[in-house]
């Protein structure tokens, strides 16, 4: 039975992705509701039925009181069949209706709505550009990704479990009292007007207070994750107290915003108790007055008393449900600041896969300043022929990394264009572009998964033999076999820790190299590919690197000039421009920047002064 309701919705079903999610709260939530609309109707209908049954039971208890005022000797003979039928309804049919209500809400809607929203949001966020991620905390993004769907699920729950039920219950109560004596509606309606005013006052304050508190929690999560992710730097620079104080600022902001939120609830609770007193005295007192005057039966008084006491108990729950409803809406609104941002770096509508024929790269008038007036690249023109190996050097900030990021289309260039085999990379599918490019970065971070998973990231369909061959080629196989993680997993099954923290820099770099070897892409980008290797391993792996380059178009960024001296061409960048272009010997004889860098090297690195 549970499985039937749980499988009514497939949260991973195909859907039409959009680059521009709704920017307003309710359209944003409604965009996830497509598969649930029929279930929402059923849930709303069942909530009304359940509320009607609850009011009906109170009405019937009043009727029983009136029936018992007659002759006890003939009571059962006259009303026994009726009482048996009502008892059977209470024992069997009422639980079945209640079961259907909670199965639809708790098992069909709630688990799947949050999962569907989280799944689609994750897909949307992963489509964002690298630059988008660089402008935010990973911890804050993850926090909003987790909080918003949970909050949205709570919103759905409150709509059907509390709001529709309470509205139906109030209407039922009004009908019940009016059938007994219409004058009993007067204190009920007066109370309802005052209660509605309290709800409005609370809602207007809870929403903003909740969004502020949620923002503060996300900020705190971002700071904590930032410290934990960079724990080596925290320890190395002995900044324990600095990080404690940095977190304390966010913790205090979280505390203050939460205090403001709780003040609203405290005021609400006090006023609510006073209003409920008005309800009890007004309805029950009026019913007793009518009984004294002989215009109402004892059953009416009993039903009115039971009804007001039930409403008294419900009002706190209803108010909590309402405030929870708007509080969770505030959490969703805060999460939308991240998960509802449009994807700006997109494939063209008619984008086709990149068709590689030779791997020739052409750059025309390329400029990119990250929205600033300086920095980045400035009017670059460059052609890298098929199979050509090009070294790229320059001071920090010269534009080397920007050129690589634009080639991978991590950003869209502000001016100019890049073509590969005559195809503008802005017009081809991003995935096909990046599949054609293998890259070894200086920061060789790994996924917190097994060594095998990290290597297979290079080519998911590779065989075990191909994976091991790539590891051997990168001089990584032997140390991989010796790995063991705290869970006892060994070798290629051992997990490497977050960003590969359990491995040395050289080990991470060799796994990264093996991953790119396994990928075997026709275009190869090397960004300080051997920077984390010791001299002995570097010497052993140089042949591997040159073997990787065979038949590929290569761009290699290096500060250790000896690693690129054998390249076909060397490009020297300065202030976003290519200022020198030629072979190692030609550039040395020219006596320009490259010759100056070479002369100033110490152990094959650019001097510290030149690299600032």
Burial of 238 (0-12, 13-18, 19+ CB in 10 A): exposed
The tally of CA atoms less than 13 A away on the side-chain side of residue 94 is 15
Q: Which of 264, 370, 364 is nearest to 322 (CA)?
A: 264
Q: What is the pLDDT of residue 533?
A: 60
Question: For 492, phi and psi rounded to 5 degrees?
Answer: -70, -15
Provide mean pLDDT across the span 319-344.
85
Torsion region of 348: left, alpha or beta (phi above 0 gives left; psi -120 to 50 gives alpha): beta
Q: Are 502 and 451 in contact (CB under 8 A)?
A: no
Question: Which helix (H) or strand (E) covers residue 140, if one does?
Answer: helix 138-158
pLDDT band at 5 (very low <50, low <70, confident <90, very high): very high
Burial (CB count <10 Å: 0-12, 13-18, 19+), residue 108: buried
Beta strands in 142-282 (DSSP E): none
Identify the CA nearest to 323 among candidates 261, 260, 276: 261
pLDDT above 80 for 608: no
Confidence band for 115, pLDDT divided at 50, 70 and 90: very high
Alpha-carbon distance of 230 to 443, in angstroms, equals: 14
> 605: pLDDT confidence band, cut at 50, 70 and 90?
very low
CA distance 610 to 595: 13
In sequence order, the 6+-apart residues with CB closer than 8 A to the CB of 344 are 19, 129, 132
**What was the pLDDT predicted at 539?**
67
3-state secondary structure at position 570 = strand
pLDDT at 12: 94
The CA R_g of the chain, rounded to the nearest whole Å, is 35
How far apart, in Å, are the Cα atoms of 434 and each of 404, 425, 515? 12, 10, 14
pLDDT band at 610 (very low <50, low <70, confident <90, very high): very low
Largest CA distance in the chain: 124
> Is the confidence at residue 537, as pLDDT, over 90?
no
527 vs 531: CA distance, rounded Å: 9
Q: pLDDT averaged over the chain?
A: 86
- Give the Cβ contact number of residue 274 at 10 Å: 10
Cα angle, residue 536 at apex, residues 533 and 539 outer, rounded to 5°:
85
Assigned token pair, 65: 């009181």
The whole-number pLDDT of residue 499 equals 64
For residue 308, CA distances in Å to 207, 303, 494 come to: 29, 9, 64
Whether residue 363 contacts residue 382, with contact meaning beta carbons closer than 8 Å, is answered with: yes
The mean pLDDT of 164-178, rounded to a whole number, is 81
| CA distances from residue 103 to 42, 125, 533 in whole angstroms, order as listed | 11, 32, 59
Using the structure block, give the residue that is written with the tokens 């999962």.
Answer: 115
Residue 135 CA neighbour count, 13 Å, CB half: 9
Using one digit for the tens of pLDDT, what is the confidence trace for 392-427? 998 888 889 899 999 999 999 999 999 999 999 999
Show the tokens assigned to 263. 């003040």
Structural domains for the chain: 2-339 (1.20.1560.10), 347-436+567-612 (3.40.50.300)
Does residue 209 surpass a pLDDT of 90? no
Is the distance from CB of 467 to CB of 456 less than 8 angstroms? yes
Residue 604: band (very low, low, confident or very high) from pLDDT cuts 50, 70, 90 = very low
Average pLDDT over residues 10-32: 92
Please give the angle made by the CA atoms of 254, 259 and 262, to the nearest 5 degrees.
Answer: 125
Residue 364 near residue 416, CB atoms below 8 Å = yes
pTM score > 0.75 for this model?
Answer: yes
Q: How confident is the model at residue 540 (pLDDT cuts 50, 70, 90)?
A: low
Has residue 586 got a pLDDT over 90? yes
Nearest to 499 by CA among 530, 454, 566, 532: 454
Listed residue (377, 368, 401) closest to 557, CA to CA: 401
Name the pairing type of β-strands 389-394 and 553-557. parallel
Q: Is the pLDDT of residue 118 over 90?
A: yes
Residue 372 has pLDDT above 80, yes or no: yes
Query: What does the alpha-carbon distance between residue 277 and residue 49 come to, in Å, rounded to a whole number?
Result: 29
- C-alpha distances out from residue 77 to 24, 61, 81, Å: 63, 19, 8
Q: Are strands 415-420 and 553-557 parallel, antiparallel or unpaired?
A: unpaired
Angle at 451 (CA atoms; ends 448, 456), nearest 5 degrees:
100
Tokens of 305: 């008393």
> In this structure, what are the phi and psi dihedrals at residue 607, rounded to the nearest 5 degrees?
-65, 155
pLDDT tens, position by position, 60-105:
887 788 778 777 878 888 888 988 999 999 999 999 999 999 999 9
Phi, psi of 429 (to 5 degrees): -70, 135
């Amino acid at each position: 039975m549970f499985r039937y309701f749980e499988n009514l919705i497939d949260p991973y079903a195909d859907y039409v992705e959009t680059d521009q999610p709704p920017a307003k709260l309710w359209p944003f939530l409604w965009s996830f509701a497509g598969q649930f609309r029929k279930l929402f109707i059923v849930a709303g209908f069942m909530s009304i039925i359940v509320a009607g049954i609850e009011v009906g039971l109170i009405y019937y208890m009043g009727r029983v009181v009136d029936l018992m005022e007659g002759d006890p000797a003939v009571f059962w003979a006259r009303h026994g069949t009726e009482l048996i039928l009502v008892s059977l309804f209470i024992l069997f049919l009422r639980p079945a209706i209640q079961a259907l209500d909670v199965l639809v809400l708790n098992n069909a809607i709630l688990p799947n709505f949050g999962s569907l929203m989280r799944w689609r949001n994750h897909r949307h966020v992963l489509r964002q550009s690298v630059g988008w991620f660089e402008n935010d905390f990973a911890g804050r993004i993850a926090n909003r990704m987790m909080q918003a769907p949970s909050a949205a699920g709570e919103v759905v729950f409150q709509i059907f479990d509390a709001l529709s039920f309470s509205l139906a219950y109030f209407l039922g109560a009004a009908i019940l009292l009016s059938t007994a004596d219409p004058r009993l509606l007067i204190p009920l309606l007066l109370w309802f007007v005052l209660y509605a005013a309290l709800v409005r006052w609370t809602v207007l304050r809870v929403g903003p207070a909740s969004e502020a508190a949620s923002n503060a929690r996300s900020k705190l999560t971002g700071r904590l994750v930032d410290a934990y992710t960079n724990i080596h730097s925290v320890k190395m620079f002995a900044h324990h107290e600095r990080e404690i104080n940095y977190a304390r600022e966010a913790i205090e902001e979280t505390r203050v915003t939460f205090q403001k939120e709780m003040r609203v609830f405290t005021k609400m609770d006090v006023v609510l108790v006073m209003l409920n007193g008005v309800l009890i005295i007004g309805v029950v007192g009026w019913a007793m007055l009518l009984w004294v005057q002989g215009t109402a039966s004892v059953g009416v008084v009993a039903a009115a008393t039971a009804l007001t006491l039930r409403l008294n108990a419900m009002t706190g729950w209803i108010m909590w449900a309402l405030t929870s409803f708007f509080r969770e809406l505030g959490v969703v609104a805060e999460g939308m600041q991240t998960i509802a941002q449009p994807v700006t770096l997109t494939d063209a509508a008619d984008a086709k896969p990149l068709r590689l024929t030779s791997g020739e790269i052409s750059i025309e008038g390329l400029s990119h300043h990250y929205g600033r007036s300086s920095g980045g690249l400035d009017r670059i023109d460059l052609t890298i022929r098929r199979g050509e190996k090009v070294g790229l050097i320059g001071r920090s900030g010269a534009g080397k990394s920007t050129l690589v990021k634009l080639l991978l289309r991590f950003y869209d260039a502000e001016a100019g264009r890049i073509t590969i085999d005559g195809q503008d990379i802005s017009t081809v599918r991003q995935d096909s572009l990046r599949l054609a490019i293998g890259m070894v970065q200086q920061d060789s971070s790994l996924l917190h998964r097994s060594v095998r998973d990290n290597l297979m990231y290079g080519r998911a369909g590779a065989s075990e033999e191909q994976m091991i061959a790539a590891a051997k080629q990168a001089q990584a196989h032997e140390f991989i076999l010796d790995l063991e993680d705290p869970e006892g997993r060994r070798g290629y099954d051992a997990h490497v820790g977050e960003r590969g923290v359990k491995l040395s820099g050289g080990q991470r770099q060799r796994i990264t190299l093996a991953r790119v070897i396994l990928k075997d892409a026709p275009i190869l980008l090397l960004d300080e590919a051997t920077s984390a290797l010791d001299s002995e391993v570097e010497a052993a792996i140089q042949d591997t690197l040159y073997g990787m380059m065979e038949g590929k178009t290569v761009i290699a960024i290096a500060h250790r000039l000896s690693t690129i001296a054998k390249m076909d061409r060397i490009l020297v960048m300065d202030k976003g421009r290519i200022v020198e272009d030629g072979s190692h010997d030609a550039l040395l004889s020219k006596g320009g920047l490259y010759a100056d860098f070479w002369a100033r090297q110490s152990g094959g690195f650019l001097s510290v002064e030149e690299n600032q």
